[in-house]
Structure formats: structure tokens, C-alpha cells
Structure 1
Amino acid sequence: MASNALCLPAATAAPERPRGRRLPRLRILLPLLWICLVALLAVGAPWLPLPSSADMDFANFESGPSAAHWLGTDLDGRDILSRAVHGAQVSLVVSLGAPAIGLVAGTPLGLLASYYDGWLRTGILALLDAMLAFPSLVFALGLTVVLGPSVQNVTLALGIMSIPAFARIARANALPLLGREFVLAARTAGASDTDILLREILPNMLMPLLTYALTMMSVMIVAEGSLSFLGVGVPPPTPSWGGMIAEGREALERVPHVSLIPAAIMFLTVLSLNLLGDALRQKHAGRAGGLA
């Protein structure tokens, strides 16, 4: 009886959950929650109980966070929270539209440059090298100056700027697939080049492209902020994070929160996108390694 009693605690003891698993979960959960919050605020901005981003409260200009203005006001008395939420709309449009342009235009170029040889490959690679050799920021500045500063033109300029990067990513992922068994089997069965590219190669390289697109979203947010900071991005009175940072730089020593708050919001958004992109990349690499 004594031996059975001694065995009971060991039999009923619950296994401890390793604490090391909590950190990877938080590294994905917290960035995902932040991105969802920013997206929800951007989409729901017209229906939120916020003051207009253009209304000026002259009695509380350059004020810090308070009950009336949760994140304070800028140099002209405009509510920083309202302007940050409406600025998220600009960042959301640019961060989704510009990588979409690069993905749609760059992926076919990368596929063609990997599948075909001769003058077609040489011409595509020469075009991509020429686009990469031209300074990206100078190109975006020139295009927005010529077309005029607007959200659409900024998105177009940054999208064209991202085409060579997507094309090279597509070509790098397509080249190893050309010698795989399913491609050889399709070619032996008499499948056309279009069927091989669209049905055999493209589906097997979508995940790396989407992972890179997620990383490029953070790059586009920073690029749009840089253009707005230089005064050639989204024109006023439309708020943008880069424009808010630029407006507060004149009084950085007196009221640092005017620039630091939008800078912190941009930092957290870019960091969250990078962490999600790294997590998705590691997950895809683990699956690829397991299949190999």
C-alpha cells in the first residue's frame, strides 16, 4: 500500500509547458495585433468619434496628451490622434498598392528571364539592371514632381521602383524549379510553355513572393514617409506620417511629441511587418527543408 501511495504523485503530476514557446508566439501575436489595429483604424476612420484632421484648436495648440486630445495637438492645434489615424489610410494604400504593382509586373519578367534564353533573357536582365542602377529615391522624386504629388502618383512611383526587385526574386525562385520532376513530366506530356509557367512553376513560388511582398510593405511605408518628409509626397491638407514628422521638426526641442508620436507609430508598424515577414519566411523555409 505504501509503494502505491508513493507512486500516485508521480502519476498525477502534470507535465510542465516549456516557457521557450511563449516568446515565438508573442513575436507573431503582438505584431499581428498591431497591424490589425492600424488597419481597422484606417478603414474605420470616417466613422470613428474623432475630430476632423483639419480642425484647429487655437486654445490648445502644441498641447500634450490630455482628455480632450489623447495624443496632444500639433503646431496648428490639430488633433494628432486624428491625423495619425487618417495618415494610416495613406500608408495602407501605398503599402498595399505599390508592392502589388511590383508583384504583378515583376513576376512575369522574372519568369520569362528564367525560362527562356537568348535575346529575351538578355533584354530583360539589361532592363532590370538599368532600373536598379538608377537611384530609387531620385526616380520616385522625379516621377512625383512630373505627375504631381498625390497618393496615386506616389503609389505608382514606388510600385515601378519595386519591379526589378520582384523580378529578381521571381527569377531566383523559378530557376531551381526548372529541373524538378513535375516540370520535366509536364514538358514530356506535351504541355505548352504557358501551361508550364502558370500551372507548374508559378504556384510553387508564390509563397516566397508573398513573403517578400510583406517585407516590401514596410519598405514602402518608409519610402512614402521619406517623400512626404521631403515635401513631394502626399500634399496637404491630407495627413501622412512622414508629413507629420516633417511639420514637427521645426519645434522638436519645444514640443517633441509632435514628431515623435507619428515616428513611433511608423516605427512600430514597420517593425511589425518585418517580424511577420521573418516569421513567414522561417515557416516556409522549415516546410521546404522538411520536404527536401
Structure 2
Amino acid sequence: MKPQFLKVPLKQELSFSIRRDVVPFFYNQLHYHPEIELLHIEKGSGTQFIGGCIRNFTDDHMVIVGSNLPHMWRCDEKYHKGQEGLFAQSTAIHFRPDLWGEYFSNLPEFKAINDFLEYTESGLQIKGETKKRIGVLMREMIEMDGLDRMIHLLKILRILAFSNDITPITSTNFDFSLDDQDNQRLNQIYSYTRNNFERKISLEEVSEVANMSPTSFCRYFKSRMNKTYSQLLLELRVGQACKLLIDGNLSVSQVCFESGFNNISHFNRHFKLITQKTPLQYQHEYRNKWRKRFDSDKACSKNL
């Protein structure tokens, strides 16, 4: 999967970009750019690729992606079918790490923000109260121009620099300096795995896709992706399980087998390792979150 350089559009009179997108589905090509990207997915669900890490995303998802870190958000297939009334919505800020210039960014007061910007190199997920506060500031920025936009961006970075609601997405800095042959081979491996992960895939089978021996394939994949092939399979299967749990039409045991796991204990163990929650906890938290949002929207409607 070859990352593509993407030039972020910017008006001549502005120093950084903020935009809101309401689209059938998000831009689904793996890409990178020198700008740091702060993204709030307000509506949409699918699979997130950041560096060498694959996770699922749903509504109200917020991340910050470091400069030149490859990333992509691929919406679920239902978004690609043109279903009426179904759309993806996001607000994104793009800014250069050196936006404020050498003198200003070297001031002692700016140290905490500088340290945070270096931390974005691995990609960060933003949760909790911090996500709520920043979501409000981003919505306000859409209607602003001039110095007010810049002040709001500084407010956002100050909040992030001192927040405890932030977790790294990738465990190591991701190196995507791959040649064309690598890109083609890894894309074949990923595509084959994405289409078949719900069943057992043997090492010999996927090695044949890569046109390598099993031993060479294991060594090759780990060196290029900073993870084993079995880790890739687990991430895809847990991502699928998350989507099925959110849909709520299947029991946990049914979700286990529909996602490609072959026994419940194996499923529960790896699901918790990746999401930090049991399948039932994940499902209940999601339902409670949307019940609270529904009750809040209902209360607002009554007051209108």
C-alpha cells in the first residue's frame, strides 16, 4: 500500500487550514503530508490506518497525526453504496510544525507545546473531556478568520500539551521508505488478508501470495511493518468484532466466530489486549454513550 504525498490546499492569506467535510465517504488513499493533522470524525465508521497501526473508528472519534506520518480512514462498505441519508462528517485542522517561526517557538512559554508536537510523531488518540473541549473550539474556529483563528489553535495546543486524555496510536515511529516492489507486495498481502481474515489463513497460504517461503515471509513482514503477520490478523478481526458489537444484532459468541476467532477465550483475551475492554464492556459503553446523546438531543428538542 504505497503512501501518496498530498498537498493540503491553503488560501494565500491564511497560515493554516481548517475545514469541515460532509461527504459520502472519506478520502480512502493512504497518504502523508508535512502538516500535522488534527481530525474530529463527527459521523462515520470504518477502519483507521495510521503508520503501521490498524484500528476501527466510529462517530465522535478524534486523533492528531504527526508530520509525514502515513494515514487513511476507510469508511465501511455501506458508505460506498450511495445509501440515501448516509454520510461521513469531519472537521480537520492542518498546520505546519514550524507555523510560529523560530523565535516564537523557542520562547520558554512554548516549551510544553513543542514537546507535545514532537509527541505527535507516533499519532495520538484524544478522548474524554479533552475531546469535548477541543471539539467545541474546532467548531468555533470554522466561523473565524484572522488572529482569532490563530488564538484558538494555540488554545487547543495548550489543552493538548497538558492533557491526560491522550494515548499513542503507534508504539514506534513508522518508517515507510519502501521501494515500489515492497509497496506492491505489501498491498497484495493486505488486500488478500482484508478479504479473507474471517476464516483461518495459514502461513503457507499468505506466503504464497507474497511469493516467498514461510520463513522469509515472517522475517520480511516484521521488518517492513514493525509487527508480525499474526498481529495484523488480530487487529483486523478485533476491528470487525467492534463493528458487530456496535450493531448489536449478535451475541458475543456469535461475534467471536463471525470475526474469525475460533474460540471464546482466545477472542476475549485478544479483544481486551487491543481495546483495553472486554467485548461486553465495549458494547455497553457504546450503547450508554449513544443513549446519553439521544436523551440530550431529546431534551434540547423539547426546549425549542
Q: TM-score range by the shorter chain?
A: under 0.3
For normalisation by structure 1, the TM-score amounts to 0.26
- Does 1 or 2 have the higher relative contact order (CA < 8 Å, sep 6+)? 1
More helix by share: 1
For normalisation by structure 2, the TM-score amounts to 0.25
Larger gyration radius, structure 1 or structure 2: 1
